[in-house]
Each structure stands twice: as structure tokens, then as C-alpha cells.
Amino acid sequence: MPKKELNALEKIQHNLFKSANEAEIVLTVDELTIKERYSAAVTKWLSDPAMQDKQIVNYLMNQFQIEKSQAYRDIGNIKIIMGGIQNATKEWTRYVVSQGLLGCVQKARASKKLMEEIMAFDKLAKYFKLDKDDEEPIPWDKLIPPDFELSDDVRVLDHKLHIPNLEEKRTRLREKYNKAEDASYENT
């Protein structure tokens, strides 16, 4: 079975942090240029996961003298490579908050301030939602998809819907569009 040809993004992703002599897949000159931009942006983003897209765009534009539109296209591809920077940012924020609260607990304990220690533990428990019951998992295998019946009757939308002379309008429309359809066949 023949090997699937990799596109440029897949080749860059495979070689992102490899030097030219470590690379298993040969990149073109253009792909090497793109790889350099992506590597720099990924490194910058990983050093500060809370960095916003706009800041990375400015960094790419200034560092590599590229247009704003190209920088945004790069960010889209970088997010694909990184597997969702938003999840990384959220996890990083969780880590910072939990470490800060644990630091507060330690300081309160060291200074023997029981109320402050209790308050810090309370905040930590609420942050991790330990004060709530665990949610029941959704039984995906037992869910039944809805069974829709298609209809061209507008009356099924609302039982209060009242269109005066509905049947007369339907008849006129059928005649109008049937004539138009017949005319289009005659012209061919």
C-alpha cells in the first residue's frame, strides 16, 4: 500500500523542534521558513500560555516581517499543531490558582491563623467544586435520537397558525411554478 503524501502542515508539525540534520522528512525552503515562524510562536506561547492571539500576531509581524493576515493564518495552523492552546491556558490558570491557594494555606498555617487557613481551604474546595456532588455520567448508549417526520405542511409548526385562504394560495403557487418549470423545459 503506498504511503500517503504529507501536506506542508503535517511535515512542519513532524519536524517542528528538530534541526535540519535531525529531520526525517525533507522540507522545502518555504516550509523551513514557515517552520521557523511556527517554532518561535509555539515557544513564545508556551512560555506564557495566557498570551492572547493579538499579541502573538504582533510578535509574528514584528519578528518575521509578515502581513497581519499571514500572521492570523499562522496562528490557526499553530493552534492545530499545539492541539488547542485554550486547553493549555485553562490548565495553566488552574495550576496557578491552586498553587496560590495552597501557598495561602501554608502561610496561614505557619502564622497559626486558623480562620485564614480555613478560608483558604474553603476557596480551594470551591475552586475544585468539592462542595458539589459529582455529576452522573451521561448514558450515551441509552440516548435515542429524535424521530423526525418531514412535512411541507406549515400547519405543523404551530397549531394556532392561521393563514387565510391557505389552500387557494397553495394552488396558485403550484400553478405558477409548474408553468415556470414547463416553460424552462420548452426553452431547452
At residue 186's C-alpha, the angle toward residues 183 and 188, to 5°, is 115
Q: How many domains does one find in the chain?
A: 2
Give the separation between CA 23 and CA 12, rounded to whole angstroms.
10
Residues 76 and 108 occupy one common structural domain: no
What's the confidence (pLDDT) of residue 56?
Answer: 92
Specify if 73 maps to a domain: yes
Distance CA 120, CA 103 (A): 9
Residue-number span of the structural domain to which 54 is assigned: 8-83
Are residues 118 and 78 part of one domain?
Answer: no
Residue 155: inside a domain, yes or no? no
- Kindly report, residue by residue over 9-48, the tens digit of the pLDDT: 888 877 777 776 776 777 788 888 888 898 899 888 888 8
Q: Is residue 102 part of a domain?
A: yes
Q: Residue 154 falls within a domain, yes or no?
A: no
Confirm whether 162 is domain-assigned. no
Whether residues 45 and 16 fall in one domain: yes
| Burial call 39-56: b when 16+ CB within 10 Å, e when fewer | bbbbebbeeebebeeeeb
pLDDT above 80 for 84: no
Predicted TM-score (pTM) of this structure: 0.45
